[in-house]
Every structure is written in C-alpha cells, then in structure tokens.
C-alpha cells in the first residue's frame, strides 16, 4: 500500500469522523492528487449521513471512488479539486469524482484538467454544473421558451444559471425561501415564490425534492408541457397529482439523471466530454453565487450534521484543505 490518508467517514447513520484510510499503490496509469477543495452535495450526502439510502439503491448510489458500503462505515463524496502530485500531468489542477479526503490515488483518465481561467475554489461546482448540462440535454429547451426551475438548491440554481444564457428564454427560479432571490439576481434570472410563479410554462425543471414542489411544477405548465424531474427522493415516495387536468391537458413528467449521458447526446459525447464542458462554463463568475458557505476539512464532522438537520442553510458548502 502507498500509505494512508485522512478522510471524512460516516461511521454509522448520524455519526461521522475524520479517519485514516489506506491508499492503494499507484499504478502506471494512476495519479496521486493532493486535495485543495471539495464540495458537499447537500441533498445526497445528507441522505448518506442519515442512512437513508434505500437498500435497493446501494449499487446505483455508489460514488465512483467510495470506500466502504452503505449504511456505513463509508467514505463518500464526488466533488473534489486538487493538484496532481505524482503520475501523468504532475502539477496540473484537476477535478475528480472522489470523496472528502486529503489525498487520492485514482486513474489518470478519471480526472479532468481545470481550465486556467477557472479558479480551483469554483471548480468544485463542476459536478453540479455537469448535472445541469445533462438535464438541459434531456429537457431540450427551445429559443424563446417559458421555463420555470422549481427548487433553488445547488442543482436547480445551476440549471437556471446555464439557462440564463439561452436566447430569448424566460427563466424563473422558484423557491419557498425568499433568501434565494439574491442567488437568482446574481445568476441573471427571475425569482418567485411558488404561489407567485408565472404559469403557462413550456417546460418546468423540478429540483426541490418535495411533493409540493412536484405538484406545483405540474400546475405551472401550459397545455402539453413537460416536467423534467431532477430530484432524488431516497426512501420517500411522493404522491404525484395525476388527476384533475393532467390527462386533458396532455402533460408529461420525465426523469433526468447524471449517471448516463442524455440519450440525445450519448452517441457523440462521453462523460469526460460533458465534464470538460461543465468546467468551461464555470469560467462565468456568476456561478460564484452558488458557493454560500465554507468550512475547514477538520470541521466537516460537525458541519454535515448541521447541514442534514437544516441548521446551516445555503447552497454549496466548499470544504478547504490545508496546504
């Protein structure tokens, strides 16, 4: 073994600590990455911390370089930026889908170089913006569309931020939390609470992970409109209001998930291509609005419980590592 590294580990549902974990030997096609920043995927990682990943989804919800198994002990996460210390590309700043840990040994092909015009501290959003790119490939908005994004969390805000660059599109970010209005303004899109949101939408992207948000998404559609569902509900089973005018108005609900490239692009784009696109988009300084909190790596065992309990609101939490 190449030694050990310190990692954030969920020991059991609701319990976490910083632990030493082994690092594998570096092969000829591997890199050793020293982490500079990671980001917490608030929704998914709160479910992992709380032991709420359904047993039926254990395989599908594994992070690419997860250590251990659900419900724990498990080292989880997939938004990391660091510097290559050994292997191909020494000295490069790269983004990788590995957990919260000080160093990682991963295949060189699994990391993507961060463009020079994208700060490392912003590049931790690459996985979130990649999700937004895939969602918009699935949703296929058209010039001039009227679009609502319901749920102004990390993913919803990233979707709205990318959509803001589409010609003639009316974008409204919808959330119950009035404080998200500032995020919408920074991204250059409209904002509304659910009861004040504009209707007759051609397309609604739902990312609130709430039953009420899904119901309101359907209400905001015009005839023959479509909801693209981005939320992952874990063990919850939300009721979907398919009565009243759902059939007569010929509405549709479709899922989008980042695990595979959207069918419309799958023949021509790889996941690495998609991630490189997301990193290029992050040259736009507007995306700084998505990082609303930060903490030191050693503080993560106290920060994540606060996030899961809703005591630390906001969007992306950037985790900073010492030199």
pLDDT reading at 234 higher than 80: no
Band of the pLDDT at 311, cuts 50, 70, 90? very high
Looking at the chain, the whole-number percentage of residues with pLDDT higher than 70 is 99
Mean pLDDT of 145-161: 97
Kindly provide the residue ranges of all beta strands, DSSP E only, lying in the chain, ordered along the sequence: 4-12, 15-22, 30-40, 67-68, 74-75, 80-86, 93-96, 103-107, 112-113, 146-150, 170-174, 190-192, 201-206, 221-229, 252-255, 291-296, 316-320
CA within 13 Å, CB half, 3 = 7
Kindly state the tokens that stand for 151: 């749920």
Give the pLDDT score at 322: 83
pLDDT score recorded for residue 2: 61
Q: Which two tokens stand for residue 95?
A: 């983004």
Q: Which of 84-88, 231-235, 267-271 has the lowest mean pLDDT?
A: 231-235
Query: Could you give the CA distance from residue 200 to residue 204 in angstroms, rounded to a whole number?
Result: 10
Using pLDDT thresholds of 50, 70 and 90, give the confidence band for residue 73: very high
pLDDT at 228: 98
Please give the model's pTM, rounded to 2 decimal places: 0.93
Is the pLDDT score of 221 beyond 50? yes
Nearest alpha-carbon partner for 240 in 230, 228, 253:
253
Judged by DSSP in three states, 169 sits in coil
In this prediction, residue 212 has a pLDDT band, given cuts at 50, 70 and 90, of very high
Looking up tokens 């290029």, which residue turns up? 280
The overall average pLDDT reported for the chain is 95
pLDDT at 224 over 80: yes
> How is 106-121 classified by DSSP, letter by letter?
EEGGG-EEPPTTS-HH
Query: In which band, very low, low, confident or very high, does the pLDDT at 175 lie, cut at 50, 70 and 90?
Result: very high
Strands lying side by side in the sheet with 221-229: 190-192, 170-174, 146-150, 201-206, 221-229, 252-255
Does the pLDDT value for residue 323 go beyond 70? no
Domains (range + CATH), the chain: 4-125+282-320 (3.90.180.10), 128-255 (3.40.50.720)
User: What are 97-122's pLDDT values in tens digits?
Assistant: 999 999 999 999 999 999 999 999 99
> What proportion of the chain, given as a percentage, has pLDDT over 90?
89
Q: What pLDDT shows up at residue 278?
A: 98
> Residue 110: what pLDDT?
96
Task: Judge whether 85 and 94 are in contact, CB under 8 Å.
Answer: no
pLDDT at 295 over 50: yes
Residue indicated by tokens 């023949």: 267
Q: Which pLDDT band, with edges at 50, 70 and 90, does 1 fall under? A: very low
- Mean pLDDT lowest for which of 86-100, 125-139, 244-258? 244-258
Q: Average pLDDT, stretch 217-245?
A: 90
């Amino acid at each position: 073994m190449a030694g050990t590294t310190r990692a954030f580990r969920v020991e059991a549902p609701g319990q976490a600590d910083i632990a030493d974990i082994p690092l594998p030997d570096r092969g000829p096609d591997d890199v050793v990455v020293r982490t500079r920043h990671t980001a917490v995927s608030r929704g998914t990682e709160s479910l992992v911390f709380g032991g709420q990943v359904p047993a039926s989804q254990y395989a599908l919800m594994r992070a690419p370089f997860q250590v251990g198994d659900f419900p724990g002990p498990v080292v989880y996460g997939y938004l990391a930026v660091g510097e290559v210390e050994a292997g191909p590309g020494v000295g490069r700043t790269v983004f990788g889908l590995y957990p919260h840990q000080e160093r990682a040994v991963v295949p060189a092909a699994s990391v993507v170089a961060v463009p020079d015009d994208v700060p490392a501290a912003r590049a931790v959003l690459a996985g979130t913006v990649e999700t937004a790119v895939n969602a918009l490939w699935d949703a296929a908005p058209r010039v001039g569309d009227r679009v609502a994004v319901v749920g102004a969390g990390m993913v919803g805000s990233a979707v709205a931020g990318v959509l803001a660059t589409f010609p003639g599109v009316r974008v409204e970010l919808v959330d119950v939390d009035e404080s998200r209005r500032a995020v919408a303004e920074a991204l250059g899109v409209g904002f509304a609470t659910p009861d004040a949101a504009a209707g007759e939408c051609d397309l609604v992207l739902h990312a609130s992970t709430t039953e009420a948000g899904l119901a309101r998404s359907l209400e905001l559609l015009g005839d023959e409109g479509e909801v693209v569902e981005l939320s992952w509900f874990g063990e919850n089973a939300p009721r979907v209001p398919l009565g009243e005018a759902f059939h007569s108005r010929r509405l549709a609900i479709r899922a989008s998930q980042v695990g595979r490239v959207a069918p419309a692009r799958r023949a021509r784009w790889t996941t690495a291509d998609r991630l490189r696109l997301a990193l290029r988009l992050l040259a736009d300084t507007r995306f700084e609005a998505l990082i609303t909190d930060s903490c030191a790596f050693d503080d993560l065992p106290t920060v994540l419980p606060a996030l899961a309990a809703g005591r630390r609101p906001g969007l992306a939490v950037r985790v900073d590592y010492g030199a």
